Structures are given as C-alpha cells and as structure tokens.
Amino acid sequence: MNLDPLLAETLGERPPLPPPPEEAESRPGLAGRAWRALYEVADPELPLSIADLGLVREVTVNEHTGLAFLQLTFTATACPCMDFIEWDIRKRLLQEDGIEQIEIEVVWDPPWTASCISERGREILGGFGVAA
Amino acid sequence: MTRFRSPSDLPPGDRTRLGHLLLALADNKRLLGIRYSDWILGAPSVEAGIACSAMSQDEWGHGRIVYSMLKDFDHDPRQLEFLREADGYLNSEVVDSEAPTWPDLIALNLLWDTALSVQFDVLAEGSYEPLHHKSRKLLQEERYHFDHAVGWSERLMTGSGGEAALAGACGAIWNSCIRWFGESDDPLISPLADLGLVPRPRVTRARWLARVGPVAGLLGLAVESGEVESDEEGQWVGAPELHWEGWSASRRRRQDGGPDEDSLARVRGDRNRVLVADA
C-alpha cells in the first residue's frame, strides 16, 4: 500500500533535496549508484538527505549477488525515526537495477554529532533558520 | 592485556557471565526509562517533563543497543523481550515501581542512572572491544542525565523542604545503589575482572562515589550513613562495611521481587504487542 500521496496532500510537499554532490558522482560501480540514491532518501524530520545528515557511514555492494551492505548511524540511540529511515532506504535502493537485497548494520562509533553534517547540509539547515 | 573482539573469543563461563551482566544493564536501562516516563506528566515544570521524556527515550535506546548485543551471547531476544516473568528480570529493586515523588525521581537520576553509566564507563575501558564501540554514544547522551541530576539536586537543596526530601529519597536507595557493584569476591564480577573486562568492584564503586559523593556529602547523607567518607585528598572512597542482607549476586538486586505488574506489562508491551505484525 502506498500512502505517499496522502502524506503529501496532508502534510504538504517536502522541499526538494539537492542532487548528489560532485564527490558522490565520481564514486564508481553499483556502490556509487547506491550512494547517490541515498541522497534521495530524506530524513523524516529535517529537510536533508540522510547522506547529507551524515548518517551513512559505509556502502558496499556485491555486484554478483546484488547484496547492498550499509553501515548506518543515527543522531540518537532512541531516534524515533530509525524504522522509517531503514524502510525508506530499502525502498529506494531496491529500485536500483542490480540491487536485490539490503543488509543494514547500525553503528555507534564514532558517535554522531552535528559535525557529521555536510557543509551543504549546514547551508540548507541555515536556510530554514537552524544553526548546526 | 588480552583483547576480546567477539563473544566467541571469551572462555565459555566468562561469556555467560558477561552476557549476564549485560542483561542486568539492559533490564535496568529499560526499567529506568519507564521510571522517567512516569514523570513526563506531573513533573514540576513543563521543561522538567520534557527532560523526563528525553531521558526516558535515551534509556530505552540504550536498552535496545544492549539487548541487541545479547543474541551473540546465546540469548533469544524474543524470549528476553516478551516472555519473562518478573522474577526473571535483573533490574535493581530501585526501579521496580514508580518513584513516588519528584525528589525520589531525582535520587534515581543522580544515584542509579550514574551507577549504570559508571558500569558502562568501565566496560568501555575494559578488554571486550565491541563494548568500546557501542558505549560511546550512550555515554555521550548520559552526560546530560548527570547534568540534569546535579542541576535539580542543587535546586531542591535551595528550596523549602527540598533538601530533606532529597536526602530522604537518596537515603532510601543508597544501599541498593552502592552495593550493586558487588562484594569484593563477587562471583559474577571477579572472574570478569581477572580477564580485564571490568575492574574490581571496589574500583568501580569508588568511581561512582567520586561522581555522586560530593552531592551526597552536601546532603549529609554519605557521611551520616557511615558507608563512605572523604579521604585526606577529598576523594570519595568506600568504607568496608556495606549492608548485604538479601543481596543476590546473580540477580544483581534484592533476591525477592521484580518489576511490579504495571511496569512488567509496559516493559513487555503486553497490551498492544498483538498489533505489531512482526512481534
């Protein structure tokens, strides 16, 4: 069941996320495509992608089996959006040709701090009046 | 010192013991989260209620991290989470039921939450490496809990009647907190200390006293109790005579009892678990 149209109608459209930055464009192979796709996965609470927020620590893809492996962290150990973020990642990555399965490992070291947000992520937040 | 990178690197008996300690920590985290949540509504101010909400979430998050580690220690996560009765929990008696007053909650915040943080602190410095990685975020978040406890202790000590109420509240749980680190020959901790996984009980207890002793001292609690004292250099140290009546080293608590009925139902999610498809 896809409730996205209902959410968009009720909550309004989210501001569009910027395209992946140059350094992501240069990543090779299926892992590179997976990285770029993660710039399209929005944090549920902030107008940023999870990649710009600094939640993605590692992405590898086995091109033979189609298994994508991600190391992911969260802003807090009790982040209420953990499940939503993982669901959104799976949904987006499985749209990529060649990716058949997703394995996500949650890591906590080094701990997430605001310094993990990308430079352009800070600028986006600044545009919404949020200093990071 | 030998470093252990996974549970399978540990001798079998010690793997079981470390898993048991982690289960006690996870149970305490989950129950403490419930105790904070009891005061989200009814705290002295809206801000204090919001702080309880945040600390409650943190404790549940910490519990989740530790429970998730236990599958590597031959525990069944589903059994741990949903199928235990009260006497199977390893939480301290101090979080069995709701803190009856705000000073009682601040006493838990100051003494018990700090005891758990100190235990994670020493595990993070010990020879079991996965805990180094898992503990850093947890300890980062716990700094604010200690700030909250000290700030509210100061506030209560300056208010009318607050000092006596806080001293009474701290006194009521003091012995449970100070003995939680175990006796000198504790059958759970001593073998783990031999492997460098944790320090000896007196060392961990001294670290806890160094944090909470100054506040307890201001309350007149530590000195009057005769259980702790400040040495010539002002360090808070444990005196040898602690009260061990009823203590169970295996349950890491008073032998009898467990979470009360309401707490148990909330911990296990009894009321609504049937609604979760994958539970």
Instruction: Decide if B1 is inside a domain.
Output: no
Q: Which residue has the higher pLDDT, A132 or B163?
A: B163
- Interchain contact B64–A (C-beta under 8 A): yes
CB atoms inside a 10 Å sphere around CB B56: 20
Q: Could you count the other beta carbons within 10 Å of the beta carbon of residue B192?
A: 23
Burial of B134 (0-12, 13-18, 19+ CB in 10 A): buried
Q: Quick one: pLDDT at residue B142?
A: 95
% of chain B residues with pLDDT over 70: 91
Q: Looking at CA atoms only, how far is residue A101 from chain B in angstroms?
A: 19
- pLDDT range class, residue A79, cuts 50, 70, 90: confident
Of B57, B60, B137, the CB nearest to A108: B137
Using a CB-CB cut-off of 8 Å, the residues of chain A touching B134 are 108-109
pLDDT at A83: 87
Domain span at residue B32 reads 7-275
A108 part of contact set with chain B, CB < 8 Å: yes
pLDDT tens for B83-121 read 899 999 999 999 999 999 999 999 999 999 999 999 999
What average pLDDT score do residues A108-120 get?
94
| pLDDT of res. B236 | 58
Asked whether the beta carbons of residue A109 and residue B137 sit closer than 8 angstroms, the reply is: yes
Q: Is residue B178 part of a domain?
A: yes
The CATH code of the domain that includes B263 is 1.20.1260.10
Residue of B nearest to A73 (CA): B137
Stretch A86-102: mean pLDDT, rounded?
96
End-to-end CA distance of chain A: 36
B213 confidence band (pLDDT: 50, 70, 90): confident
pLDDT of residue B230 exceeding 70, the answer is no
Q: Is residue B239 part of a domain?
A: yes
Q: What is the pLDDT of residue B7?
A: 94
- pLDDT at B257 > cutoff 90: yes
Question: Domains of chain A, with CATH numbers?
Answer: 18-127 (3.30.300.130)
Question: Across the interface, do B61 and A76 touch by the CB < 8 Å criterion?
Answer: yes
**pLDDT value of position B233:** 58
pLDDT score of B16 more than 90:
yes
The pLDDT of residue B240 is 45
CA–CA dist A120, A20 (Å, integer): 11
Angle, CA A55 vertex, CA A53 and CA A61 arms, to 5°: 125
| Residues of chain B with C-beta less than 8 angstroms from the C-beta of A112 | 137
Lowest mean pLDDT among B93-97, B136-140, B245-249, B271-275: B271-275
- Chain B contact for A78 (CB, 8 A cutoff): yes
Does residue B79 lie within any of the structural domains? Answer: yes
Contacts of A21 (CB under 8 A, 6+ apart): A39, A118, A120
Contacts of B58 in chain A (CB under 8 A): 76-78
State the DSSP string of B133-172: HHHHHHHHHHHHHHHHHHHHHHHHHHSTTHHHHHHHHHHH
* CB-based contact A78 B132, cutoff 8 Å: no
CB contact under 8 A, A79 and B61: yes
B2 assigned to some structural domain: no
Q: Cβ(B119)–Cβ(B201) under 8 Å?
A: no
CA distance B3 to chain A (A): 18
pLDDT exceeds 70 at position A114: yes
| B185/chain A closest Cα distance in angstroms | 33
Query: Is the predicted pLDDT of residue B20 greater than 90, yes or no?
Result: yes
Q: How many domains, chain B?
A: 1
ipTM at complex level: 0.71
Between CA B51 and CA B46 the distance in angstroms is 9
Q: What does DSSP say about strands A67-72 and A101-106: parallel, antiparallel, or unpaired?
A: parallel
Tell me what pLDDT residue A7 has. 67
